[in-house]
Structure 1
Amino acid sequence: MTVRSRPLSPHLQIYRWTITMATSILHRATGIALYVGTVLLVVWLGAAAAGQDALNVVNSIYGSWFGQLVMFGYTWALFQHMMSGLRHFIWDFAVMMEPGRREALGWATLIASTVLTLLVWTVFVWAA
C-alpha cells in the first residue's frame, strides 16, 4: 500500500504581499474599528442626553491625549473604509483591474484616507 501525500494549501508565507492584499485586510479591520467607534459615539450621545455633568466627564475622557489618539484613529478608519469601498465600487464596473492600475488604486486609497484625515483634523480640531 502506498501512502500519497496530500497537497498543501498555499499559505501567506508562500504568497508575495501586494498592496491589494493589504488594503483588503485593512478594509475588514477598519470595518471592525468602526463598530467600536460607533459605540464611542453612542456613549457621547447618551452622555449628552443624560445632562451636562455626564457630558463633561465623557468630553474630558475624549479630550485627553489618549482619547484624541483614539478619535484620530477612528477618523482615519472611517476615511480608509470609505476609500476602500469606493475602490470596490470602481471594480464593480470592471475598471482599473489591470495589475499596475489595481496597485495604484490601492495606494490611492491609503494616501487619500491619510490626507483626508489630516485635512479634517487640521481644519476642525487643531485649528480650533
Structure 2
Amino acid sequence: MDSQQVTSEVPESDVRTLVVDDSEAFLEVAADVLGATPGFVSVGVVSSPDAALGLLVSREPGLAIIDVHMPQMDGLELTRRFKELRPETAVALISADDPEHLPPGVRDSKADAVIDKRHFGPRWLRSLLPRLASH
C-alpha cells in the first residue's frame, strides 16, 4: 500500500476522512473500513504528518483520525496544528495504548474524540455521525 493514498472523487454527503498513522498495517485497515462504511469516504490515508497538513488544506476533511504516537510529530502536536489551520475539522486521536496509559495531554487536547485502535471500525465511525453533524 502506498503510504500517501489519496482519493479524488468524493460524494458531497459523505464525511471526508483523513487518516494519519505511521503503521502501514493500520493504514490498510483504515482504508478498508472507510471503504466499507456508508457515509464516510477517504480523502487521504497517509503516514506522514507533513503530508497530512498538506491534505488538510487541499482536501478539507470533515474528520481526521490521527495516531497519538508518530516519530516525526506526535498526534497531540498534529492535532494542535490541524485545529489552528482548520478548526472545523473534527479530530479523533487513536492509540493502541490502554485508555488509562495514554500520554499526558491526550485527554486535555483539542481532539473531539479519543479511541482505542482495537475499537476502530464501522460501528465506531457511525457513532461519530451525530457529533460530526453538529461540529
Question: Under TM normalisation by the shorter chain, which class is it?
Answer: under 0.3
Q: Identify, as 1 or 2, the structure richer in strand.
A: 2
TM normalised by structure 1 equals 0.24
Q: Identify, as 1 or 2, the structure richer in helix.
A: 1
Which structure would you say has the larger Rg?
1
TM normalised by structure 2 equals 0.24
- Which structure has more relative contact order (CA 8 Å, sep 6+)? It is 1
